[in-house]
Amino acid sequence: MNEPFLITYPGVEAKEIDPWQEEGATWRRLAVTFPPSIATHNADQVFYYDEQFMQRRRDYSPNVAGGAPIAHYTHDQKTFEGLVFPTRRRVHLHGENGVADQGFGLITIDIDKVGIGSD
């Protein structure tokens, strides 16, 4: 849930790349490289945003899983204490062409509540 903030950290490199067509929509893409000082699944990732600038997908190849190509989708954004969070996450493998195999979910996460606090 903290990816948008991590992209602003010093040493993170980001550039917009060609848009992506999926589900009848065009998503803008941001290629991001994280420095070693930020713990992530892997250094190079691609973030996908819809026309409302909501993150819809993130591609990465986690080092701990042998570099398998992952498409991590976010759905059902809801507002909690004035901030918007996706409440459904689905992780799938994707092929060399970038198309995800949504017939099998490696990981599914459903979130009911989000608490915002300073602690």
Do residues 100 and 94 make contact, with C-beta atoms less than 8 angstroms apart? Answer: yes
| Residue 36: partners with Cβ closer than 8 Å, 6 or more residues away | 43
Tokens of 69: 């190509």
For residue range 72-99, list pLDDT tens digits in order.
Answer: 888 778 888 887 777 788 888 888 888 7
Residues 6+ apart with CB under 8 A from 23: none
Task: Return the closest-CA partner of residue 91 out of 61, 64, 54.
Answer: 61
Structure-token pair, residue 42: 């892997």
Q: In the beta sheet, which residues pair with residue 100?
A: 94
Residue 64 scores a pLDDT above 80: no
Query: What's the pTM?
Result: 0.84
In order of their start, the domains of the chain are 3-110 (2.50.20.10)
Dump pLDDT digits (tens) for 42-62: 899 999 999 989 889 999 998
Query: Alpha-carbon distance 107 to 113, whole Å?
Result: 19
